[in-house]
Amino acid sequence: MTNKPWNLRQCVKKYSDAGIKGISIWRNVLEGQDPGEANRLLDDSPLEVVSLVRGGFFPSVEKKKRLGAIEDNLLAISQAYAFGAPLIVLVCGSDSRQSLEKSREQIKEGIIKILPEAISAGVKLAIEPLHPMYSADRSAVNTLAQANTMAEEINSEFVGVAVDVYHLWWDGNLQKEIERCGRNDKLFAFHVCDWNVPTVDFLNDRGLMGDGCINIPEIRNWVEETGFDGFNEVEIFSEKFWAMDQNDYLEKIKNAYLNFT
C-alpha cells in the first residue's frame, strides 16, 4: 500500500533490488492475481512475508454483515496460510449506528469465532488500534490499552497487537502500554510513518519519517526494549507520494528510514 501504484510483481522486484528484507501483502493487490503465480513470485524472491493486511471490520447492527465479516476473515486466514504470512493485521471496524462498547463486544466475538481456524493455520491475529478520529467507522479500538485488554481477555498466544505510531503517538500512556504488551508477548507488529502538520487529509496524507511531529526513534526504543525483534514496517498512505515517480519515492523512503527511524 505504501507504493500503491505498483502491483505485487513490481513491489517484489523493486523492494528486493533495493535491499529491503520484508513485505506485508495487502489483500487488494491479490484481486485478480493467480494465487499460484503470486506464490511463485514470493518464493523466488529474498523477501520475507511479514503479514497479510487486512482482516477485521467485524461490527455491524446487521447480522448479515457480521456473518459476512466472519467469512471474509476466514478467507483472509486461508490467504495468509497460502502465502506463508505468519500474521494478519486486524483493522477491527466500527458501526456508528451503535455504541462503541457494542462494537468492541462484536470485535471480540468476531476474533473468538475465527480463532480456531487461525490456530489451525498457524496464523496469528494482531489487533491494530486506530486513531480516535476513526472510531465511528474504521475501528472502535482506539488505544493500545483497549487492544491490550481485548487480547488479554481472549487469552490466546495467537492474538496480540500491532503498534502503529501514526495512530498512537499522542497517547500519554503509550510507553506503559507498550511495556504491558511486551511483558505479555502480545507485541506482534510495529508500523512507522509520520504525522504531517498541518494534515490535509486524515487518511491519505501520512508523512515520511522525519517530516512530521512524531518522535519515532523514542517509540521504536520503547518497542525494542520489550525484546521485539520484528520488522519496522513503513506504512504510508499519501496521495502526494502516490502521484510521484515511485522509484524516486522508494529512495526517499529508504533515506527517511535510515535517518529518522
Residue with cell 494482531: 126
Question: Could you tell me the three cell numbers for 65?
Answer: 454483515
Q: Does residue 31 register a pLDDT over 90?
A: no
**What's the confidence (pLDDT) of residue 212?**
98
**For 20, how many CA atoms within 13 A lie in the half-sphere containing its CB?**
23
Instruction: State mean pLDDT over 136-146.
Output: 98
Nearest to residue 171, comparing CAs of 147, 187, 150?
Answer: 147
Q: Does residue 32 register a pLDDT over 90?
A: no
**What's the confidence (pLDDT) of residue 176?**
98
Instruction: State mean pLDDT over 253-259.
Output: 98
Instruction: State mean pLDDT over 137-149.
Output: 98
Q: Who has greater pLDDT, 107 or 37?
A: 107
CATH 3.40.190.10 fits 8-260, yes or no: no
pLDDT tens digits, one per residue of 69-111: 999 999 999 999 999 999 999 999 999 999 999 999 999 999 9
- pLDDT, averaged across the chain: 97
Q: What is the pTM of this model?
A: 0.97
pLDDT tens digits, one per residue of 48-65: 999 999 999 999 999 999
| CA terminus-to-terminus distance, the chain | 19
Q: Does residue 34 register a pLDDT over 90?
A: no
Helix axes 174-183, 144-154, angle to 10 degrees: 20
Domain extent listing, the chain: 8-260
> HEC string of the chain?
CCCCCCCHHHHHHHHHHCCCCEEEEEHHHHCCCCHHHHHHHHHCCCCEEEEEEEEECCCCCCHHHHHHHHHHHHHHHHHHHHHCCCEEEEECECCCCCCHHHHHHHHHHHHHHHHHHHHHHCCEEEECCCCHHHCCCCECCCCHHHHHHHHHHHCCCCEEEEEEHHHHCCCCCHHHHHHHHHHCCCEEEEEECEECCCCCCCCCEEECCCCCCCCHHHHHHHHHHCCCCCCEEECCCEHHHHCCCHHHHHHHHHHHHHHHC
Confidence category of residue 222, pLDDT binned at 50, 70, 90: very high
- The one-letter amino acid at 232: N
What share of the chain has pLDDT > 70, as a percent? 100
pLDDT tens digits, one per residue of 153-198: 999 999 999 999 999 999 999 999 999 999 999 999 999 999 999 9
Whole-angstrom distance, CA of residue 67 vs CA of residue 51: 24
**What's the confidence (pLDDT) of residue 35?**
80
**What's the confidence (pLDDT) of residue 33?**
81
**What's the confidence (pLDDT) of residue 37?**
87
